[in-house]
């Protein structure tokens, strides 16, 4: 099998080459095939232009800063989700793990007066351990990821509710855990450290996926498990690592969530599961595995947030945002299917 | 009318969020959550177990929606206290999640076979009606707590709070506090994808309190966007859903502020949404300049009134509904009279109070300290 360093690993067949010089459709097909993040990037650009025409406030730096802040939690989560989806899996429990981790962090500081940094590390350990459980069930007991995480979604949500007793926790201003809410202002551009943290997460994971053996193995396993096994890749180790590194991304998301909420809240982030999957799908990562780039997920998350914000600014009923995102998901999967078909 | 519980309950309803897009997945996730949550049929201070002595001991069943929510936990605690006082043998049961009627039906059946004198229930849905009717035929007195069943006659009486009145108190205070200035209002509602009575009631109550016609009896956001309120001119800057959670409240407020930076009045469906709104305003450097109006009256929420995050909070009393319910059944079983509805209402109103630190003319307020004696949660 062929693994290209661009992160696009669909094997290039002889037929592909033969068909290349044909019509425009074929050429577009070929470009999109090589650049999975291109179509979402075009959508984001067009959406930006459309919303700027609808309301002049949309492109104010102030508003764009807000969009960036709003996207940070789901963006970080979607980075983790991308790793799992690249292995041809899906993680339905990712949001539940985030909420659990954010509550563990907040409660340790609030109830047990644990040092903020230590609380953060324990929260991160909880997220990684939870994901290790998911990963082990997938690799050792060979359960489909969908079923495993469907079950663990309930388990982690229940643990969170039992642990939190439905209460919310407001942390004292200045608490270390609220660092992700600190703002760096340049004129009317207000970037939170949470946004920078999310970008750093993408940079690190993007680099790892593209330039390390681990990254290539992840793509390979997602593309064809059997071929990877024959090529000498330890499939179960790669799969387990995908879930555990996703756990790290979840921990980052949980930390950003704590900053945004100002503490722990079992009800906040409850929609993040599906939002992360939506971002990954719109971002051009194939649900069938092995195809996509992680930055696409950031673009996907941004598209959802831009629609949310842009439609609100233009005074639309919030239901139209739900409608728009739904259509985008269907469009994204259709494009993916079209790109996957060798003959356009 | 009521149904104030839905505001606090996280689980399945919240799940139906923005990304309903991935419909198939949404379905499975909803199912997953359905299967989850915690504690079903929790035996409270068990009935049969506790002493066969004292022949006058009255059996009462308290059947809650869930036990994962401070609002219902408060009901449980106050009902237990009242039971100890009234020599009542109390059995507590709860659904595994919002909408779990099957567990509630089993609990009703158990109450009948145990020979309880009455049932206190916050129903999870109409599916429990048949079981409740059987209970009534068997001679049990049925009191609905927090929310009237549908039809209301399914219960002998309902003990609840008036959510329209709760919104109105906030609105009246806001109108007076503005002192004739133009009002630029952000409406932070509960959902945009389903109609829930508490959402509509509180939203409309707030507008009515300001002297604005909601323009509909069944939908939010149907009022005229500009016009005049009782003290001057107004603009409704936005109606945004919050899912009743802090992060939803924050995002909603951020979008509202982008659309109209001059917002000076915020209505929030509940305390978490109000807290999120406060976070957004603080990040925008507007903390303290915009009045935030909340509803709930939890102990945590009252602290936000004390420290000035919320301008006012309307308190409701889930514990009172439960303890009054236990008292009523104990009295009735020992030959007393049946409780009756509040004059002019179809239910027994357990009351609401406006909690604020600054008094304004013509509106009765309670100080956070006074309100704390009746607050719920921790």
B-interface mutation test, from A148, A152, A165, A263, most B Cβ less than 10 A away = A165
In chain A, residues 304-333 whose CB comes closer than 8 Å to chain B? 304, 308-309, 312-313, 315, 317-319, 321-322, 325-330
Residue B264, Cβ density class (10 Å: 0-12 exposed, 13-18 middle, ≥19 buried): middle
3 state SS of B344: coil
For chain A, say whether B130 makes contact (Cβ under 8 Å): no
Residue range A262-267: mean pLDDT, rounded: 90
Contact: B259, A313; criterion CB under 8 Å: yes
| Cβ within 8 Å of residue A106, ≥6 positions away | A119, A169, A171, A177, A258, A263, A264
Q: In this predicted structure, what is the pLDDT of residue A37?
A: 83
Task: List pLDDT tens digits, range A101-124.
Answer: 999 999 999 999 999 999 999 999
Contact: A157, B33; criterion CB under 8 Å: yes
Contact: A329, B21; criterion CB under 8 Å: yes
B-interface mutation test, from A73, A188, A267, most B Cβ less than 10 A away = A267
Residue B216 CA to residue B231 CA, distance in Å, equals 22
pLDDT beyond 80 at B47: no
Q: Provide the shortest C-alpha distance from residue A17 to chain B (in Å).
A: 35
Nearest CA in chain A to B244: A267
Strand partners, B232: B229
Contact: B19, A157; criterion CB under 8 Å: no
3 state SS of A321: helix
Q: Provide the shortest C-alpha distance from residue A44 to chain B (in Å).
A: 17
**Closest to B26 (Cα-Cα) out of A148, A153, A319:** A153
3 state SS of A294: helix
Residue B46 CA to residue B65 CA, distance in Å, equals 19
Contact: A325, B377; criterion CB under 8 Å: no
Q: What percent of the residues of chain B are helix, what percent strand, and what percent coil, each to the nearest 5?
A: 40, 20, 40
- How far is Cα of residue B208 from the mean position of the Cα atoms in its chain? 19
In the structure, what pLDDT confidence band is assigned to residue A162 with cuts at 50, 70 and 90? confident
Structural contact between residues B123 and B147, judged by C-beta atoms closer than 8 angstroms:
yes
Task: List pLDDT tens digits, range B296-349.
Answer: 999 999 999 999 999 999 999 999 999 999 999 999 999 999 999 998 888 999
Nearest to B21 among A73, A269, A278 (CB): A278
Structural contact between residues A329 and A278, judged by C-beta atoms closer than 8 angstroms:
yes
Strand B226-229 relative to strand B232-241: parallel, antiparallel, unpaired?
A: antiparallel
CB contacts of B287 in chain A (<8 Å) are: none
Contact: B18, A304; criterion CB under 8 Å: yes
ipTM: 0.79
Q: In this predicted structure, what is the pLDDT of residue B275?
A: 95
Q: In this predicted structure, what is the pLDDT of residue B51?
A: 38
Residue range A185-205: mean pLDDT, rounded: 93
Q: Provide the shortest C-alpha distance from residue B231 to chain A (in Å).
A: 26
pLDDT beyond 50 at A95: yes
Least confident of A109-118, A217-226, A261-270, B349-358: A261-270
């Amino acid at each position: 099998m062929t693994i290209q360093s661009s992160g696009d690993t669909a094997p290039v067949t002889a037929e592909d080459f033969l068909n290349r010089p044909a019509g425009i459709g074929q050429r577009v097909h070929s470009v999109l095939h090589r650049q999975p993040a291109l179509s979402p990037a075009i959508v984001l650009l067009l959406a930006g232009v459309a919303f700027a025409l609808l309301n002049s406030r949309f492109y104010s730096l102030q508003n764009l800063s807000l969009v960036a802040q709003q996207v940070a939690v789901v963006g970080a989560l979607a980075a983790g989700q991308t790793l799992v989806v690249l292995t041809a899996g899906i993680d339905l429990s990712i949001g539940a793990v985030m909420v659990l981790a954010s509550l563990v962090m907040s409660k340790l500081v609030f109830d047990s007066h644990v040092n903020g940094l230590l609380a953060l590390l324990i929260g991160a350990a909880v997220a990684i351990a939870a994901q290790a459980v998911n990963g082990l069930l997938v690799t050792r007991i060979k359960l489909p990821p969908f079923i495993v995480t469907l079950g663990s979604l309930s388990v982690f949500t229940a643990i969170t509710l039992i642990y939190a007793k439905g209460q919310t926790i407001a942390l004292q201003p200045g608490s270390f855990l609220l660092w992700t809410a600190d703002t760096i202002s340049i004129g009317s551009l207000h970037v939170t450290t949470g946004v920078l943290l999310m970008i750093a997460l993408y940079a690190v994971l993007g680099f790892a996926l593209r330039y390390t053996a681990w990254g290539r193995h992840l793509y390979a396993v997602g593309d064809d498990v059997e071929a990877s096994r024959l090529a000498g890749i330890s499939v179960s180790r790669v799969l387990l690592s995908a879930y555990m590194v996703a756990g790290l991304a979840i921990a980052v998301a949980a930390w950003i969530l704590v900053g945004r909420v100002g503490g722990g809240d079992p009800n906040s982030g409850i929609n993040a599961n599906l939002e992360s999957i939506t971002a990954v799908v719109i971002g051009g990562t194939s649900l069938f595995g092995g195809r996509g780039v992680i930055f696409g997920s950031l673009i996907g998350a941004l598209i959802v947030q831009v629609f949310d914000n842009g439609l609100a600014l233009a005074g639309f009923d919030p239901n139209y945002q739900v409608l728009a995102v739904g259509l985008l998901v269907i469009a994204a999967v259709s494009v993916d299917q079209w790109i996957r078909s060798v003959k356009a | 009318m009521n149904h104030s519980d839905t505001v606090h309950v996280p689980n399945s309803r919240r799940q139906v969020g923005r990304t309903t897009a991935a419909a198939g997945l949404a379905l499975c996730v909803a199912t997953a959550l359905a299967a989850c949550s915690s504690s079903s049929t929790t035996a409270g201070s068990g009935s049969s177990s506790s002493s066969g002595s004292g022949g006058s001991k009255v059996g009462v069943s308290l059947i809650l929606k869930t036990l994962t929510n401070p609002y219902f936990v408060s009901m449980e605690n106050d009902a237990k206290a009242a039971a100890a006082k009234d020599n009542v043998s109390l059995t507590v049961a709860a659904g595994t999640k919002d909408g779990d009627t099957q567990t509630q039906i089993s609990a009703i059946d158990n109450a009948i076979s145990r020979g309880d004198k009455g049932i206190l229930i916050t129903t999870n849905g109409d599916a429990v009606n048949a079981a409740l009717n059987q209970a009534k035929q068997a001679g049990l007195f049925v009191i609905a707590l927090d929310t009237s069943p549908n039809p209301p006659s399914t219960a002998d009486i309902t003990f609840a709070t008036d959510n329209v009145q709760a919104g109105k108190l906030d609105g009246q205070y806001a109108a007076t506090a503005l002192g004739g200035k133009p009002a630029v209002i952000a409406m932070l509602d509960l959902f945009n994808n389903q109609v829930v009575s508490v959402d509509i009631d509180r939203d409309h109550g707030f507008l009515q309190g300001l002297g604005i016609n909601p323009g509909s009896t069944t939908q939010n956001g149907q009022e005229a966007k500009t016009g005049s309120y009782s003290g001057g001119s107004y603009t409704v800057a936005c109606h945004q859903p919050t899912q009743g959670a802090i992060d939803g409240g924050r995002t909603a407020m951020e979008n509202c502020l982008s659309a109209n930076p001059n917002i000076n009045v915020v209505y929030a469906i509940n305390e978490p949404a109000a807290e999120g709104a406060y976070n957004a305003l603080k990040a925008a450097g507007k903390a303290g300049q915009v009045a935030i109006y909340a509803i709930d009256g939890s102990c945590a929420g009252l602290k936000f009134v004390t420290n000035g995050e919320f301008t006012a909070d309307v308190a409701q009393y889930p514990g009172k509904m439960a303890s009054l319910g236990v008292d009523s059944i104990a009295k009735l079983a020992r030959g007393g009279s049946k409780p009756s509805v509040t004059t002019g209402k179809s239910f027994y109103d357990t009351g609401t109070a406006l909690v604020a630190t600054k008094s304004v003319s013509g509106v009765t307020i309670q100080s956070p300290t006074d309100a704390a004696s009746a607050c719920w949660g921790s």
